[in-house]
């Protein structure tokens, strides 16, 4: 089997390991309640915030904009949507605190059990667009047992820029086929496969809720196709 | 107190967190015994190997030699000393395995208890000349509870090159005074202080055994001066 040589497994984080939508909705709902908003829709707020994520990274990936950390991209979108949701009264400290809700998002229920199994046999790490402090804080708070962290600021690039995958492989000092990418997003796996990495698709059809338009299923013959992180551990014999 | 603002503590690894001398001596002794060498001095072998460490990095730090991973520097020195110790019969696979003894060195007895306490309040990571795979493997094997790993190949530079400290601070997105360097080597702390970092000296007067010529004590007024990692946890109120 092609995954026999795998020594390290790196994971997309937002959506694959962590359920950003329910976590952001919950934190936003608490803030809205503290401001006396009674008809605030936390889930819609989370989705609206997230809708600025790819457009926010796009000019960085294309080279039109210089390297910009993910906290800045999150914050720009936050400032943009707060008025629409009746939260434009938030002051600087409140906005900063809410922006860091992305440092506190919770894992899906299967993520930690699956990672604990995989960790016994493989080096495991995020290969995420998050910043180092975001990813390390999230893992520490939730108990995600990474062996180390790859963050976007280490590469000064965002996925799907090929340099992210190339740099991860180089830092590991491994052959591309010894590294597996786990993700709930087919285009992330396409980019990983293009660099010679092994691929594991984890189906997360509820990630975006009513806004989900793709990634309801694997669209290619990825090395592993499963419904959760424990499924990867099953296939890998952990 | 000047350490009040600290949010992250990064540590030198070889000698500060881990006792390379006894670990390397033990592995070399096992190899020598398997080859029928009865008067092999494992401790002398470990010290001789380590004696090539700083000279091996020096041309990289000065810019005379291009970036060279630490495994290569370890291996070059290993090949150099094997004949002197009667081990020139080791084949490629045996040399490679022995070279990776640096991935398996054990922590000092106080390191994990101290780091577990510090981890509750601070982000903790190595800021080491080791490679990513070396540091992650070492931590995984021994249970060193890093939140993430800074490795020399992320900076493409070795300490005491200022870029190592600057890059760590930048990746954390923190003010220099929010990051503390913990080390058993005064010159490592000098380089960290020059970048504005806080400093913690951990006394390891037996690190080099009979070869130790310095770092028997703190040579400056570092922010914290203690005998072990638990001592830092005491001072930091963990």
What digits encode the pLDDT tens for the residues B162-220? 999 999 999 999 999 999 999 999 999 999 999 999 999 999 999 999 999 999 999 99
Average pLDDT over every residue of A199-215: 96
Contact status, residue A17 vs residue A108, Cβ threshold 8 Å: yes
pLDDT band for position A87 (cuts 50, 70, 90): very high
Contact status, residue A145 vs residue A25, Cβ threshold 8 Å: no
Query: Pick from B69, B136, B172: which is nearest to A148 by CB?
Result: B136
B223 at the A interface (CB within 8 A)?
A: no
State the best of A121, A133, A139 to mutate against chain B, taking most chain B CBs within 10 Å. A133
Q: Over chain A, what is the mean pLDDT?
A: 97
CB contact under 8 A, A149 and B151: no
CB contact under 8 A, A149 and B149: yes
Contact residues for A106 (Cβ-Cβ < 8 A; gap 6+)? A18, A19, A22, A23, A142
CA-based nearest residue in chain A for residue B151: A171
pLDDT at site A178: 98
Closest CA to B99 of B157, B66, B56, B63: B56
What distance in Å separates the CA atoms of residue B100 and residue B89, rounded to the nearest whole number? Answer: 18
Domain regions of chain A by residue span? 2-19+106-235, 20-103
Contact status, residue B199 vs residue B79, Cβ threshold 8 Å: no
pLDDT at site A1: 55
Q: For A122-152, give one letter per residue: b (16+ CB within 10 A) or e.
A: bbbbbbbbbbbbbbbbbbbebebebbbbbbb
- pLDDT tens, B53-77? 999 999 999 999 999 999 999 999 9
CA-based nearest residue in chain A for residue B170: A153
CATH of domain A2-19+106-235: 3.40.50.1000
pLDDT band for position B2 (cuts 50, 70, 90): confident
pLDDT at site A11: 98
Query: Pick from B131, B136, B171: which is nearest to A153 by CB?
Result: B171
CB contact under 8 A, B133 and A154: no
In this predicted structure, the answer to whether residue B155 has a pLDDT above a threshold of 90 is: yes
A146 at the B interface (CB within 8 A)?
A: yes
Q: For A186-220, give one letter per residue: b (16+ CB within 10 A) or e.
A: bebbbbbbebebbbbbbbbeebbeeeeeebeebee
pLDDT band for position B1 (cuts 50, 70, 90): low
Average pLDDT over every residue of B140-162: 96
- Give pTM, 2 decimals: 0.96
In this predicted structure, the answer to whether residue A203 has a pLDDT above a threshold of 70 is: yes
B119 at the A interface (CB within 8 A)?
A: yes
ipTM of the complex: 0.94
- pLDDT tens, A143-185? 999 999 999 999 999 999 999 999 999 999 999 999 999 999 9
pLDDT at site A153: 95
Q: In what order do the strands lie in the sheet with B198-202?
A: B123-126, B8-11, B179-183, B198-202, B224-226
Average pLDDT over every residue of A215-230: 98
CA-based nearest residue in chain A for residue B140: A147
Q: In what order do the strands lie in the sheet with A224-226?
A: A123-126, A8-11, A179-183, A198-202, A224-226
In chain A, what residues touch B171 (CB-CB under 8 Å)?
132, 151, 153-154
The domain made up of A20-103 has a fold known as: DNA polymerase; domain 1 (1.10.150)
State the best of B148, B169, B178 to mutate against chain A, taking most chain A CBs within 10 Å. B148
pLDDT band for position A2 (cuts 50, 70, 90): confident
B61 at the A interface (CB within 8 A)?
A: no
Kindly report the number of other CB atoms within 10 A of residue B76's CB atom: 13
Helix axes B70-81, B53-62, angle to 10 degrees: 130
- pLDDT tens, A35-72? 999 999 999 999 999 999 999 999 999 999 999 999 99
Contact residues for B147 (Cβ-Cβ < 8 A; gap 6+)? A136, A139, A140, A149, B119, B123, B124, B125
pLDDT at site A210: 94
Query: Pick from A147, A154, A174: which is nearest to B171 by CB?
Result: A154
Average pLDDT over every residue of A89-107: 98
Domain spanning B20-104, CATH class: mainly alpha
CA-based nearest residue in chain A for residue B133: A172
Average pLDDT over every residue of A212-233: 97
Contact status, residue A10 vs residue A168, Cβ threshold 8 Å: yes
Residues within 8 A of A (CB atoms), B 149-168 only: 149, 151, 153-154
pLDDT band for position A136 (cuts 50, 70, 90): very high
In chain B, what residues touch A69 (CB-CB under 8 Å)?
173
């Amino acid at each position: 089997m092609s995954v026999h040589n795998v020594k390290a497994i790196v994971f997309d984080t937002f959506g694959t390991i962590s359920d950003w939508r329910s976590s952001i909705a919950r934190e936003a709902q608490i803030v809205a309640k503290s401001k006396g908003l009674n008809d605030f829709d936390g889930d819609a707020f989370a989705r609206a915030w997230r809708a600025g994520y790819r457009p926010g990274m796009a000019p960085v990936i294309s080279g039109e904009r210089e390297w910009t950390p993910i906290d800045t991209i999150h914050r720009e979108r936050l400032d943009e949507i707060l008025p629409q949701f009746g939260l434009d009264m938030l002051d600087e400290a409140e906005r900063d605190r809410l922006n860091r809700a992305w440092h506190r998002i919770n894992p899906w229920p299967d993520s930690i059990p699956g990672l604990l199994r995989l960790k016994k046999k493989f080096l495991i790490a995020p290969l995420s667009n998050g910043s180092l402090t975001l990813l390390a804080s999230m893992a520490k708070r939730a108990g995600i047992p990474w062996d180390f962290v790859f963050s976007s600021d280490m590469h000064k690039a965002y996925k799907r820029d090929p340099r992210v995958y190339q740099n991860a492989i180089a830092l590991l000092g491994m052959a591309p086929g010894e590294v597996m990418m786990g993700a709930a997003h087919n285009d992330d796996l396409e980019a990983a496969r293009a660099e010679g990495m092994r691929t594991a698709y984890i189906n997360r059809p509820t990630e975006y809720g009513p806004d989900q338009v793709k990634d309801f299923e694997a669209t290619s013959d990825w090395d592993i196709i499963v419904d959760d992180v424990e499924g990867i551990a099953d296939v890998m014999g952990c």
